[in-house]
A and B are shown apart, each in its own frame.
Chain A
Amino acid sequence: MANIGIDLGTTNSLVAILVDGKPRCLLGDDGAAMLPSAVRYAPEGGVTVGAEARAEAPRYPGRTFTSVKRFMGRAPADCAADAQLFRYEMDTSEDRFVRFNVRADSGAPFRAVTPTEVSAEILKALKHRAVECMFGEPGGAVITVPAYFDDAQRQATKDAARLAGLEVLRLLNEPTAAAIAYGLNRRERGVFAVYDLGGGTFDISILELNDGVFQVMSTAGDTHLGGDDFDRAVAALLIARAGGPALSDAGWRDIIQSAEAARRALSAAETVTVALPADLGTQALSRADVEAAILPVLERTGASCRQAISDAGLKADQIEAVVLVGGTTRTPLVRRYVEDLFGRAPFCDLNPDEVVAIGASIQAELLSSSSTFSEDLLLLDVIPLSLGLEVMGGVVEKFIPRCSTIPISKSETFTTHVDDQTAIDLHIVQGDRELARDNRSLARFALRGLPPLPAGIPRIKVEFLVDADGLLKVSAREEYTGIAAQVDVKPSYGLTEDEIEQMLESSIDNAEEDVSVRMLIEARVEGEGILSALGKAMRDRELLEPGEGERIDAVAAQLETAMAGEVYKTIQDLSKLLDQVSAPFAQRRIERDLTRALSGQSAASVADHLASRRAVESDVESDHV
């Protein structure tokens, strides 16, 4: 089956496929391509994803999650402030990965979820769209991630896909996807910048194209900067102007929504009137007001841009095209700011919300063996952060520098410090600071099963391999004996293999629950159909044999009772029984209709009877399916 491209966004997510060689974002039931990245959990076990969950978030704050991408693969300590901002309650018993407590509306906790599981629900919903559209399972998926995502964040994304039952062909950097969507790959050569300001992340990437090889030269950004920050800045302005009232959770959410609506409206209008929640009245807001409020946030993107340009060894005027990505780039001030920064007007012809998903779907097609696309395009990515090893004194020895083209491998040789030592622990960090504690811990690799030799004799060659998705793998071998060490990975932040397995198992349990819920709904629909058709037919009571009507009514009453219950099997059985007991009666009605037709009854009346007969028949048929 066809491969799909997925933009798993902080605020919205999309899925796209190629239809007759043209990329198309798939629409949801509501007709929108964008699926809000919002997930609500029901205490009885159901999950609601998308627009409904987003719209009703204020009503169900304890069990609705938005912007979970901000928490993917991060340490609880690093995003406590975020959790507070979004009013999420972190499970404090876990310090290795983020887990939120989910509370019923009464306040009672009923489960805990990781951002990985929440993202998996979003991916499942997107996969469902693809299945409906393509009438079958998708082949594999290209999922985009911010170029700045570190190893743990990329791994968490891959884990989420696994939980959603998606085969990941490639994690693709969002800006690279955007450049592909704009067809920049069709040029012969060039240097491009992709400025991606989404709801929650900012990325700037410098890409170089040469003879069909597309390469990320450098990337910088902030996993923590986006339109949400604009909205908060505008909300803060509104609150300050209203005299700085203390706000409830609901009041804060409402004012953020008002700020967002006002900001969007001001992309086109010069002034808007904002109705504030509660009794705070209305305020007139001009584009200039909003621009003054968001400029400090916007300026934070400038520093990253200058960093990326200098990392690429370039000057701003050497960049030949600038592409805008992300809904936030619709803001006129953003476009002016980018134009000033690069000295040229940015590309913004494509829908900035869909650009990334479109590029992902093109890459997904390129990765399928049946691709009719140019075989000449190759995407090369770089690793966004240096990888290093903690050595004596907590100092970092970098072994893979930032912006190295991936995949890349490095080997280092270690020895032992004590006789018969059979294990070595390696602490890998990512970042560019001198001391391990100032960088982000990636994982601890425990090498076990080394041959016992005198201290200093073993030559343990450790191979660090960063794959095309930017994920690190480690293998080790003692060179004299050729004995491979067993490598146990303890990710510093994120889920271990065992934890993912457990989640997979429990999601299979949930899938069974999902199946029985669906069966119940189907059985009820079927029962209703039979009852309604029978109700009409029973008006012909003169055709009933003595006692037959009572029997049919009794079974119908039982079916109605069963339909109010939760056991789909009972509903199915009673539907079948009702069909059986009413079958002779239905037969007599058909015979009578035919007799009437032959004896000159009006054609319309016959047609009417035949229609109601068909309704009963089709119910009988569906029962046997």
Chain B
Amino acid sequence: MYSASAATACWRCQERVGGPVCVGCAALQPAPTAPDFYALLGVARRYHLDLEAVDAKYRALARQLHPDRYVKKSAQERQSALLWTAHLNEARRVLRDPIRRARYLATGRPDMPESGGPRLDPAFLEEIMEWREEAEGDPEAVRGKASACAAELEAELEAVLTAWEEGRGGLEVVGDRLARLRYVQGMR
């Protein structure tokens, strides 16, 4: 289930382990550097998630892996607990948030980089310029257009992600649509 540490030997007792904690000797295994968030939380790789279930999985793992549980253990295990829990916290943050979750599924990165992100389609930007001209300086009209466009983008994303879940298509457009969504949301 834990892709990054699947079936490796325990550092202490050499038992084959698939989870963060050795089934043989209860030693905490080293944390992977970049775990898959779905695999980490043990959640099926889907866009539509039961958030209560995500939280429950998160809590069960956090109780097991939190540094507070390793206060009296070796420095190595304390450091591993810190890293495991850091990954868990990040995994929950990403999976609980629909936008980050969509971006993570599509691009493998949960956050849009503040610089060097995907370039917006010039045609899309032209469209926005047109709204502004039509609105003739009425900010309410621009906001109305932006809201309508955001709703359209959300519907499109929902359709794309649902189709992907059902095995009817890919996620190629998701990154671009999310960037557009952020842009128009900034205008509202």
**B residues near A210, Cβ cutoff 8 Å:** 55, 59
Known: A169-B71, A367-B68, A468-B67. A407 touches B59 (CB 8 A): no
Contacts of B82 in A (CB 8 A): 407, 465, 467-468
Cβ–Cβ < 8 Å partners of B55 in chain A: 210
Given A211-B59, A468-B67, check contact A397 B89 (CB 8 Å). Answer: no
> Is A613 on the interface with B (CB-CB < 8 A)?
no
**Nearest-Cβ distance from residue B63 to partner chain A, whole angstroms:** 5
Least CB distance, B70 to chain A, in whole angstroms: 10
What mask results when residues 40 to 60 of chain B are scored 1 for a CB within 8 Å of chain A, else 0? 000000000000000110010
Please count how many residues in chain B sit with their CB below 8 Å of the partner chain's CB atoms: 22
How many whole Å from A474's CB to the nearest CB in chain B?
A: 14
Answer whether A213 and B115 are a contact pair too, CB < 8 Å, given A366-B68, A407-B67, A407-B85. no
Task: Tell me whether B71 and A408 are in contact (CB under 8 A).
Answer: no
**A347-399 interface (Cβ within 8 A of B):** 366-369, 376, 378-380, 391, 397-398
Say whether B106 faces chain A, with CB atoms less than 8 Å apart.
no
A170 B68 Cβ-Cβ under 8 A:
yes
B83 touches which one: A140, A367, A409 (CB < 8 A)?
A409
Q: Does B93 contact A (CB under 8 A)?
A: yes
Residues of A within 8 A of B86 (CB): 406-409, 465-466
A412 to B50, CA, bound (A): 30
A404 touches B68 (CB 8 A): no
Knowing A366-B68, A367-B68, A468-B82, the reply to whether A404 touches B93 (Cβ < 8 A) is yes
Chain B interface helix/strand/loop/mixed? helix
Q: Does B101 interact with chain A (Cβ within 8 Å)?
A: no
Q: Which residues of B contact A380 (CB under 8 A)?
A: 62, 66
From the candidates B59, B67, B83, B89, name the one contacting A212 in the complex (CB within 8 A).
B59
Q: Which residues of B contact A465 (CB under 8 A)?
A: 82-83, 86
Contact digits for A274-313, partner B, Cβ 8 Å, 1 yes 0 no: 0000000000000000000000000000000000000000
Given B62, B71, B72, B93, which contacts A378 in the complex, CB threshold below 8 Å? Answer: B62
Chain A positions 211 through 225: 1 when the CB is less than 8 Å from some CB of chain B, otherwise 0: 111000000000000
Distance (whole angstroms) from the CB of B177 to the closest CB of chain A: 23
A536 vs chain B, min Cβ distance (A):
56
Contact, CB under 8 Å: A407 / B89: yes
**Residue-by-residue, is A568-580 near B (CB-CB < 8 Å gives 1, otherwise 0)?**
0000000000000
Q: Which of B85-118 contact A (CB under 8 A)?
A: 85-87, 89-90, 92-93, 114-115
CB within 8 Å for A404 and B59 given contacts A465-B82, A468-B67: no
B143 nearest CB across to chain A (Å): 22
Residues facing A in B142-181 (CB within 8 A) are: none
Chain B residues lying within 8 Å of A407, measured Cβ to Cβ, are 67, 82-83, 85-86, 89
Which residues of A are found within 8 Å of B115, using beta-carbon distances? 391, 397
In the complex, what residues of A have CB within 8 A of residue B87's CB?
Answer: 409
A405 at the interface (CB under 8 A from B): yes
CA distance A555 to B55 in the complex (A): 80
Chain B proximity of A227: nearest CB distance (Å): 32
**Residues on A with beta carbons closer than 8 Å to the beta carbon of B85:** 407, 468
- Chain B residues with CB under 8 Å of A170's CB are 68, 71
Complex formed: what's the CA distance from A379 to B83 in Å? 17
Q: A408–B59 contact, CB under 8 A?
A: no
Tell me how far the C-beta of B105 lies from the nearest C-beta in chain A, rounded to whole angstroms.
20
Output the nearest chain B residue to A395 by Cβ-Cβ distance: B114
Specify which of A367, A368, A369, A408 is in contact with B90 (CB 8 Å cutoff).
A408
Residues in B whose Cβ lies below 8 Å from that of A408: 86, 89-90
* A314: min CB distance to chain B, Å: 16
> In the assembly, what is the distance between CA of A332 and CA of B106, in Å?
56
* Distance of A119 Cα from B82 Cα, bound (Å): 28
Set of chain A residues within 8 Å of B67, measured between Cβ atoms: 407, 467-468
Q: Closest residue of chain B to A379, judged by CB?
A: B68
Residues of B within 8 A of A409 (CB): 83, 86-87, 90
13 A–B pairs (Cβ distance < 8 Å), ordered by A: A169-B71, A366-B68, A367-B68, A368-B72, A376-B63, A378-B62, A378-B69, A379-B68, A398-B114, A406-B89, A407-B89, A409-B86, A468-B85
13 other contacts beyond A405-B89, A407-B67, A409-B90, with CB at 8 A cut-off?
Answer: A170-B68, A211-B59, A213-B62, A368-B72, A376-B63, A378-B68, A380-B62, A407-B82, A407-B83, A408-B86, A408-B89, A409-B83, A467-B82
Q: Which B residues contact A (CB, under 8 angstroms)?
A: 55-56, 59, 62-63, 66-69, 71-72, 82-83, 85-87, 89-90, 92-93, 114-115
- Kindly list the 6 A-B residue pairs having the minimum CB-CB distance in the complex, ordered from nearest: A409-B86, A405-B89, A407-B86, A213-B59, A369-B72, A468-B67
